[in-house]
Structure 1
Amino acid sequence: MYQVQQLIGGVWGAGGDAGRLTVLDPVDGTPVSEAPVATEADVGAAVKAARSAAPRWARTSPAERAAALRRAADAIEAVADQLAEVQTAELGRPLALARGGVEAGVSTLRQYAELGPVRGGRSLAGDAGAIDLMVPQPRGIVAVITPWNDPVAVSCGLLGAALVTGNTVVYKPSERTPAAGFLLARLLDEHLPSGVLSLLTGDARVGAALAGQEVDVVAHVGSTATGRSIAAACARSGAKALLENGGSDPLIVDGDVDPRWAAEQAAMGAFANSGQLCVSVERIYVLRSVANRFLGALVQSAKAMRVGPGRDPRSELGPLVDRRHRDHVHGQVQAAVADGASVLLGGTVPDGPGAFYPPTVLGECTDQMLVMREETFGPVAPVMVVESFDEALSRASNSPYGLAATVLTASMSNAQRAWRELPVGTVKINAVFGGAPGGAAEPRGGSGQGFGYGPELLDELTATKAVHIGAPGGEGGRW
Structure 2
Amino acid sequence: METELFIAGKWVPARSGARFDVKDPATGDVIASVADGSEEDAIAAVDAAADAAAAWAATPPRVRGEHLRRAFELMTERSAELAKLISLENGKALTDAKGEVTYAAEFFRWFAEEAVRGSGEVATAPSGANRILVVRQPVGVCVLVTPWNFPAAMATRKIGPALAAGCTVILKPASDTPLTALAMAAILAEAGVPAGVVNVLPSRSSGKVVGRMLHDPRVRKVSFTGSTEVGRLLLAQAADNVVNTSMELGGNAPFVVFADADLDAAVDGAMIAKMRNGGEACTAANRFYVEEPVAAAFSGKLAERMSALVVGPGTDEKTQVGPLVNEDTVAKVDGLVRGALESGATAVTGGERPDGPGYYYPPTVLTGVRPGAAILREEIFGPVAPIVTFTGEEEAVRYANDTEFGLVAYVYTGDLARGLRVSEAIEAGMVGLNRGLVSDPAAPFGGVKQSGIGREGGHEGLLEYLESKYIAVNW
Same fold (TM over 0.5): yes
**Alpha-carbon offset, residue 469 of structure 1:** 3.4
Q: Return closer, same or farther for 1:311/1:327 CA change in 2, 3 Å cut-off.
A: same
1:21-420 → structure 2 map (5 Å cutoff): 21-126=20-125, 132-190=132-190, 191-203=192-204, 204-205=206-207, 206-214=209-217, 215-420=219-424
Q: In the TM superposition, what is the alpha-carbon distance from 1:102 to its structure 2 partner?
A: 1.3
Q: Is the 8 A contact 1:33 1:90 kept in 2?
A: no
How far 1:389 moved relative to its partner? 2.1
* Count of residues paired in the alignment: 470
Kindly state the Cα deviation for residue 256 of structure 1 after the two structures are TM-superposed: 1.2
Q: 1:417 to 1:129 in 2, by over 3 A?
A: closer
1:431 aligned to which of 391, 416, 435: 435
Give the aligned residue type for 2:166. Answer: G
Residue type of the alignment partner of 1:69: L
Query: How many Å separate the matches in 2 of 1:23 and 1:435?
Result: 28
Q: Is the 8 A contact 1:405 1:428 kept in 2?
A: yes
1:396 and 1:161 map into 2 onto residues whose CA distance is 32
TM-aligned CA deviation for residue 371 of structure 1: 1.2
Instruction: Tell me how far 1:384 sits from its aligned partner.
Output: 0.6
- 1:94, 1:315 within 8 Å by CA — same for their partners in 2? yes
* TM-score when normalising by structure 2: 0.95
Once the two structures are TM-superposed, the CA of residue 268 in structure 1 deviates from its matched residue by 2.7
> d(CA) in 2 for partners of 1:347 and 1:275?
15
Task: Assess if the C-alpha contact under 8 Å between 2:439 and 2:445 holds in 1.
Answer: no
- SS of 1:102's partner is helix
Q: Partners of 1:368 and 1:318 in 2: how far apart?
A: 30
Instruction: Kindly indicate whether the alpha-carbon contact (under 8 Å) linking 1:17 and 1:36 is maintained by their aligned counterparts in 2.
Output: no
Q: Distance in 1 between matches of 2:31 and 2:346?
A: 38
Give the match for residue 5 of structure 1.
Answer: 4
- Cα deviation for residue 208 of structure 1 reads 4.0
Preserved contact between residue 367 and residue 373 of structure 1 (Cα < 8 Å): no
134-143 vs 438-447, which deviates more? 438-447
C-alpha distance in structure 1 between counterparts of 2:178 and 2:152, whole Å = 11
The change in CA–CA distance for 1:315 and 1:261 in structure 2 (over 3 A counts) is same
CA pair 123-348 structure 1, distance change in 2 beyond 3 A = same
AA in 1 matched with 2:195: S
Give a deviation string over 1:67-98, Cα, whole Å, max 9, x none.
11122222222222211111010011122221
Partner Cα separation in structure 2 for residue 265 and residue 140 of structure 1: 40
SS in 2 for 1:151: coil
Choose 279-288 or 199-208, whichever is displaced more: 199-208
Matched residues in 2 for 1:368 and 1:33: separation?
A: 43
Contact 1:286 1:386 in 2 (8 A): yes
Q: Distance in 2 between matches of 1:3 and 1:60?
A: 28
- Matches of 1:41 and 1:389, distance apart in 2: 56
CA distance in 1, matches of 2:398, 2:129: 58
Post-superposition offset of 1:158: 0.7
The separation in 1 between residues aligned to 2:145 and 2:413, in whole angstroms, is 37
Q: 1:341 to 1:18 in 2, by over 3 A?
A: farther
Evaluate the alpha carbon distance shift between residue 210 and residue 337 of structure 1 in structure 2; reply closer, same or farther with a 3 A threshold. Answer: farther
Cα shift at 1:16: 4.7
CA distance in structure 2 between the aligned counterparts of 1:77 and 1:277, rounded to whole angstroms = 23
Give the secondary-structure state (helix, strand or coil) at the position aligned to 2:435. coil
**Does the CA contact (< 8 Å) of 1:33 and 1:178 recur in 2?**
no
Q: How far did residue 3 of structure 1 move?
A: 5.0
Deviates more, 1:337-346 or 1:356-365: 337-346
Would the aligned equivalents of 1:8 and 1:14 in 2 still touch at CA under 8 Å? no
**Contact 1:403–1:443 (8 Å) recurs in 2:** yes
- Corresponding residue SS for 1:183: helix
Aligned-pair distance for 1:421? 0.6
TM-score, normalising length from structure 1? Answer: 0.94
State whether residues 18 and 39 of structure 1, in contact with CA within 8 Å, keep that contact through their aligned partners in structure 2.
no
CA-CA distance at 1:129 after TM superposition = 9.8
One-letter amino acid of the structure 2 residue matched with residue 433 of structure 1: L
Q: Say if 1:299 and 1:86 are closer, same or farther in 2 by CA, change over 3 A.
A: same
The 3 A distance-change label for structure 1 pair 67 and 261 is closer
Give the aligned partner of residue 476 of structure 1. none
Distance 1:35 1:211, change over 3 A: farther
Tell me: CA distance 1:367–1:129, structure 2 relative to 1, closer, same or farther (3 Å).
closer
CA distance in 1, matches of 2:326, 2:440: 33
Give 5+ residue unaligned stretches, structure 2: none
Pick closer, same or farther for the CA change 1:383–1:16 going to 2, 3 Å: farther
Structure 1 residues not aligned, in runs of 5+: 472-479
Decide whether the 8 Å contact of 1:3 with 1:33 is kept in 2: no
Q: Which moved more, 1:141-150 or 1:338-347?
A: 338-347
Q: Are residues 146 and 437 of structure 1, via their aligned partners in 2, closer, same or farther at CA, if it must alter by over 3 Å? A: closer
Aligned to 1:475: none
Q: CA deviation at 1:251?
A: 0.5
Could you tell me which residue of structure 1 aligns to residue 454 of structure 2? 450
> Residue 458 of structure 2: SS of its match in structure 1?
coil
CA contact (8 A) 2:107 2:441 kept: no
Larger gyration radius, structure 1 or structure 2: 1
1:186 CA drift (Å): 1.3
Code of the aligned partner of 2:376: M
